[in-house]
């Protein structure tokens, strides 16, 4: 990519946005982007947000860990900083030892497993988390095509292979209940229910971010 | 063809006045060619921002402040400031309850407890005396919100902040272009926070910015914004992306035009309100500059229809009126469960009286004339309509 003339696809996408007059707040392009991600990654639910860190913070709010987090050594610093905002202690472990660590960590009081990239025996890790009562959040930014069976997968669209020029993030889940909470947690306006995270934030993706996300998917 | 009979009202089965909802949102569409020209200047080869620093510099000139830090949305800017103001301490943030739902959440994110104070009847902004009475050794920030019709009592708050040592942060989202004592809002307190959301005055799709005179603070905010790539321990990735900056720059080119168009709509509402028996328009403070973003209407207590009934009737006609900050935040789930219910008599009273009327680029002067005619039609039959709405009253209220 260079600074030269704008790609025709950009011009068309932005013309469409200007014509519709729908610019932000999870509009039609955001929904289309989510559907496209679901289709390509074969995941039933995708919830787009404004950044990768927004995805992590939104997922943590919904999973609501009550104890320390077991976090793989190859997770980015932005993931650790997401934990800071919740005051969740991080127990770092050497990546590649997920299964053993899940079991041991759960026994010692950890309540969430956070991983990144490739996870060996992902199905077995999911099973162990289920038995041990551990939530599992996995960062798929490094390999968008390879989502394991975590409770919530998160992605930073700028750092991922998509390299969305307008940034953005996304959460993926197979659980309809979690997807509903993820959608509600990205804005203040959704009605409160006892299940809702106590604090919410503006994590909404704009139509511009979704438009360039769709463009990047096609590229 | 206007409404002739009560049955012509959409609430009672008639066709609605508008086919598409007339919202309360600016939604200004910037000039296409100008937007594409800004967009084409983005360096798509790498992560180095070109337009964001340019936007920051132009906004700094606009507000006459040395520093502007652009962020992904106004909430992020407020969160950074609340975190910095607290300085690692857990305490209370003093704020109004007559404002938008996000404010108490931001205090909680920053490790603080929101404490609601009352507002002034005349301006609907935070009452300095109510705040003075609430300051304790654990207060970490005072967070007044400028209202569109009137900025806060800035001088009193600055004195209070100097006297108590409590940092002062202004939520200035609705005060873009407004002045206080002849000076444009943006340079007061520790910092002031503005929005670039499409529904606000400066459309950058989404985004926000912090204006401040404090260079060290601006530097620290930039560090927090670039979380993941910096040493700031409490970072949150809050970078404004270049595409949003391109949109904000093109909107900034036409900002005075936005204010002018808002003024025309506001004056049209005022003209109609002169003919109304029970509705009047909240005036803008004289002698100051304003952006005329909203047309807030007060419902006379003698009106046979309550404020909520007015809202219900207008919304059924697709004129998207809304109750004005009702219910107030201390009476909603946005007040943390472990905090006491505050006594806020002025807030409680005001939130029952006012409503927002449709505004912004998608509302034409002709639309406002239609709304004016509709209001007159409703007023002429108000008693009968009120009687017919009585069975709905619980739902409407």
Q: Encode chain A (219 residues) as per-residue pLDDT tens digits.
A: 456 788 999 999 999 999 999 999 889 999 999 999 999 989 999 999 999 999 999 999 999 999 999 999 999 888 998 999 999 999 999 887 877 888 888 888 999 999 998 888 888 888 889 888 999 999 999 877 666 678 999 999 988 878 888 889 999 999 999 999 999 888 887 555 656 666 789 999 999 999 999 999 987
- With respect to residue A49, please indicate whether it lies within any of the assigned structural domains: yes
In this structure, the answer to whether residues B345 and B373 fall within a common structural domain is yes
**pLDDT of B87-146, one tens digit each?**
999 999 999 999 998 999 999 999 999 999 999 999 999 999 999 999 999 999 999 999
- What is the C-alpha separation between A134 and A82, in angstroms, rounded? 18
**pLDDT of B360-385, one tens digit each?**
999 999 999 999 999 999 999 999 99
Residue span of the structural domain in which B357 resides: 255-396
- With respect to residue B12, please indicate whether it lies within any of the assigned structural domains: no
In this structure, the answer to whether residues B195 and B65 fall within a common structural domain is yes
CA distance B277 to chain A (A): 34
What CATH number is given to the structural domain containing A92?
A: 3.40.640.10
Q: Is any Cβ of chain B less than 8 angstroms from the Cβ of A68? A: no
Q: Do A76 and B39 touch (CB under 8 A)?
A: no
- With respect to residue B26, please indicate whether it lies within any of the assigned structural domains: no
- What is the C-alpha separation between B330 and B104, in angstroms, rounded? 10
What CATH number is given to the structural domain containing B222?
A: 3.40.640.10
Q: Which residues of B touch A165 (CB under 8 A)?
A: 42, 44, 241-243
Choosing from B252, B285, B305, the residue where a domain stops is B252
In this structure, the answer to whether residues B239 and B315 fall within a common structural domain is no
- With respect to residue A14, please indicate whether it lies within any of the assigned structural domains: yes
Dihedral angle of Cα B337, B341, B342, B345, to the nearest 10 degrees: 130
Place of tokens 């006459």: B64
**Residue A148 confidence (pLDDT):** 65
Phi and psi at B35, nearest 5°, equal -65, -45
In this structure, the answer to whether residues B274 and B198 fall within a common structural domain is no
| Token digits of residue A217 | 């998917």
Specify which residues B116 forms β-bridges with.
B95
In this structure, the answer to whether residues B208 and B292 fall within a common structural domain is no
Q: How many domains does chain A have?
A: 1
Region B322-339: mean pLDDT is: 89
**Residue A1 confidence (pLDDT):** 47
Choosing from B220, B252, B284, the residue where a domain stops is B252
Q: How many CB pairs under 8 A join A and B?
A: 129
- With respect to residue B334, please indicate whether it lies within any of the assigned structural domains: yes
CA distance B304 to chain A (A): 30
Q: How many domains does chain B have?
A: 2
Phi and psi at A122, nearest 5°, equal -55, -40
What CATH number is given to the structural domain containing B294?
A: 3.90.1150.10
- Complex ipTM over 0.85: yes
pLDDT(B47) > 80: no
In this structure, the answer to whether residues B98 and B239 fall within a common structural domain is yes
- With respect to residue B147, please indicate whether it lies within any of the assigned structural domains: yes
Q: Do B44 and A200 touch (CB under 8 A)?
A: no
- With respect to residue A2, please indicate whether it lies within any of the assigned structural domains: no
Give the C-alpha distances (Å, rounded to integers) separating B147 from A95, B170, B205, B287: 51, 11, 22, 16
- With respect to residue A151, please indicate whether it lies within any of the assigned structural domains: yes
Residue span of the structural domain in which A151 resides: 8-218
Mean pLDDT of chain A: 88
Q: Do B42 and A53 touch (CB under 8 A)?
A: no
In this structure, the answer to whether residues B42 and B127 fall within a common structural domain is yes
Dihedral angle of Cα B96, B97, B103, B109, to the nearest 10 degrees: 100
In this structure, the answer to whether residues B189 and B302 fall within a common structural domain is no
**Residue B228 confidence (pLDDT):** 53
CA distance B367 to chain A (A): 18
């Amino acid at each position: 990519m260079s600074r030269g003339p704008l790609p025709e696809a950009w011009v068309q996408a932005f013309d469409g946005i200007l014509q519709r007059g729908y610019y932000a707040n999870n509009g039609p392009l955001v929904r289309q982007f989510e559907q496209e991600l679901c289709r390509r990654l074969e995941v039933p639910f995708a919830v787009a947000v404004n950044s990768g860190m927004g995805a992590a913070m939104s997922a943590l709010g919904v999973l609501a860990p009550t104890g320390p987090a077991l976090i793989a050594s190859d997770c980015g610093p932005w993931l650790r900083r997401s934990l800071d905002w919740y005051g969740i202690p991080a127990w770092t472990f050497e990546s590649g030892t997920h299964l053993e660590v899940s079991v041991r960590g759960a026994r010692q009081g950890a309540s969430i497993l956070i991983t990144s990239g490739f996870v060996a025996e992902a199905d077995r890790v999911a099973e162990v988390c289920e038995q041990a009562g551990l939530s599992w959040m996995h960062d798929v930014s490094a390999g968008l095509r390879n989502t394991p069976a975590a409770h919530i997968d998160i992605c930073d669209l700028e750092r991922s292979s998509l390299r969305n020029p307008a940034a953005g993030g996304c959460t993926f889940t197979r659980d309809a209940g979690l997807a509903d909470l993820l959608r509600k947690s990205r804005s203040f306006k959704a009605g409160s229910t006892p299940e809702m995270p106590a604090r919410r934030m503006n994590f909404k993706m704009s139509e511009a971010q979704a438009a360039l996300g769709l463009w990047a998917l096609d590229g | 063809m206007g409404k002739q009979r009560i049955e012509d009202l959409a609430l009672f089965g008639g066709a609605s006045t508008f086919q598409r909802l007339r919202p309360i949102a600016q939604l200004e569409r910037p000039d296409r060619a100008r937007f594409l020209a800004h967009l084409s200047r983005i360096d798509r080869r790498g992560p180095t921002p070109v337009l964001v620093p340019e936007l920051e510099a132009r906004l700094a000139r606009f507000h006459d402040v040395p520093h502007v830090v652009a962020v992904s949305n106004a909430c992020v800017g407020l969160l950074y400031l609340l975190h910095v103001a607290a300085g690692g301490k857990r305490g209370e943030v003093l704020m109004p309850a007559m404002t938008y739902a996000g404010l108490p959440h931001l205090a909680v994110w920053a490790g603080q407890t929101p404490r609601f104070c009352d507002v002034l009847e005349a301006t609907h902004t935070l009452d300095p005396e109510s705040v003075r009475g609430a300051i304790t050794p654990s207060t970490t920030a005072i967070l007044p919100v400028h209202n569109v019709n009137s900025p806060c009592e800035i001088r009193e708050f600055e004195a209070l902040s100097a006297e108590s040592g409590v940092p002062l942060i202004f939520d200035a989202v609705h005060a873009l272009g407004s002045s206080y004592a002849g000076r444009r809002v943006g340079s007061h307190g520790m910092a002031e926070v503005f929005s670039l959301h499409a529904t606000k005055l400066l459309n950058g799709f989404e985004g926000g910015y912090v204006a401040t005179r404090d260079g060290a603070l601006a530097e620290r905010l930039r560090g927090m914004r670039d979380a993941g790539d910096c040493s700031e321990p409490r970072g949150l990735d809050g970078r404004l992306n270049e595409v949003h900056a391109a949109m904000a720059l093109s909107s900034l080119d036409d900002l005075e035009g936005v204010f002018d168009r808002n003024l025309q709509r506001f004056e049209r509402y005022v003209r109609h309100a002169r003919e109304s028996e029970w509705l009047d328009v909240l005036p803008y403070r004289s002698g100051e500059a304003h952006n005329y973003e909203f047309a807030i209407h007060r419902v006379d207590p003698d009106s046979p229809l309550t404020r909520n009934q007015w809202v219900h009737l207008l919304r059924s006609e697709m004129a998207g009126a809304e109750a004005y900050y009702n219910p107030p935040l201390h009476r909603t789930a946005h007040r943390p469960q472990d905090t006491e219910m505050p006594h806020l008599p002025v807030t409680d009273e005001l939130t029952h009286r006012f409503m927002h009327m449709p505004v912004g680029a998608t509302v034409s002067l002709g639309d406002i004339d239609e709304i004016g005619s509709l209001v007159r039609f409703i007023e002429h039959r108000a008693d009968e309509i009120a009687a017919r709405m009585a069975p709905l009253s619980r739902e409407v209220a």
